[in-house]
Structure 1
Amino acid sequence: MIYQLYPQVAHPYRYELNKDMHIAAAHFIPHEAAGSCANVHGHTYVVNVTVAGDELDESGFLVNFQMLKKLIHGKLDHTLLNDHTDWFDRHDPNRFPTTEVVARTIYETIQRYLDTLPHKPKCLQVFVRETPTSYVIYRPKVGER
């Protein structure tokens, strides 16, 4: 296995956790300006999630890796992203299943989960590689974490 290094986020937290996932999924961008991406096609996405915090939970984890995988891989792997209408929308460009929106929506999903934990870890960034030569990084603006 080849290990990927990702751009890092400077932060003041004691712990930083990174979880990699491979997600095989199809999508299409419902807009004429998308060119051939308006047709259904698939990718093996490489996703990396960075979570940080100062405190560990009662199990000694910042976050359980399995929970992160369940939240994202468990939902998206081997699906048509456009079918996830709770995440994506064919009429709102801010919710088309582009790589940018996929990264932001993964962030929002993970942060919602983290907000339920008593020790309040934070998702610092989500990296989504769509092809070997194209990727997106989503980071919340300062003050949103």
Structure 2
Amino acid sequence: MLQQIYPVAPHPYRYELNKDLQFAAAHFVPAVSAGKCSRMHGHTYFANVTVAGDTLDEAGFLVNFSDIKTLIHARFDHTVLNDDTDSFGADDPNRFPTTEVVAKTICELVQRYLDEKSNHAVCLQVFLRETPTSYCVYRPWPKVSRRPAGDAHA
């Protein structure tokens, strides 16, 4: 098993969960300045998703590891990222399927899932490795405290 050290996102939460996973996907960056990356090609992406919170759910989880993997695999594994027009687009560089935008998209996807849960967990960061020598870390802007009222650690 590969052991990896990730950048740490400082936070005030009691629990931090990290899920490693990989998925295979093809893409191209629709910009001439992207050079060779403007041509269709594929990667085996390696992702680490960091979730944090103070409250466990009814099963004793911050979030089920399997749910995070399923969420990302169902959306991205063995796909052409450019075909996912809900997530990516060819008219705005902020929506091109670059490593940066894919990491941001994963973070937003995980956060939308977490927002449906009652224990107020947050996605703190997504580490996304595109090649053995290239990766991106995405951290969303911190939100105002989402802790339950009356939490002694607030």
Cα-to-partner distance string for 1:48-103 (whole Å, 9 max, x where unaligned): 00000000000111001111111112211111111111110111111000000000
Which residue of 1 is the match for residue 149 of structure 2?
A: none
**What is the distance in 1 between the residues matched to 2:119 and 2:100?**
29
Letter in 1 for 2:80: L
Letter in 1 for 2:123: C
Letter in 1 for 2:131: T
- The percentage of aligned residue pairs carrying the same residue is 63
Q: CA RMSD in A?
A: 1.2
Structure 1 gaps of 5+ residues are none
Q: Evaluate the alpha carbon distance shift between residue 144 and residue 138 of structure 1 in structure 2; reply closer, same or farther with a 3 A threshold.
A: farther
Instruction: Name the TM-score, length of structure 2 as normaliser.
Output: 0.91
SS of residue matched to 1:126: strand
**What is the distance in 2 between the residues matched to 1:42 and 1:112?**
27
Structure having the higher Rg = 2
Aligned residues: 145
**What is the distance in 2 between the residues matched to 1:105 and 1:24?**
16
Which residue of 1 is the match for residue 143 of structure 2?
A: 143
Which residue of 1 is the match for residue 5 of structure 2?
A: 5
Which residue of 1 is the match for residue 118 of structure 2?
A: 118
**What is the distance in 1 between the residues matched to 2:97 and 2:76?**
12
Which residue of 1 is the match for residue 88 of structure 2?
A: 88
Deviation at 1:144, TM superposition (A): 6.5
Which residue of 1 is the match for residue 152 of structure 2?
A: none
**What is the distance in 1 between the residues matched to 2:71 and 2:144?**
21
Deviation at 1:32, TM superposition (A): 0.6
Deviation at 1:116, TM superposition (A): 1.1
Letter in 1 for 2:48: N
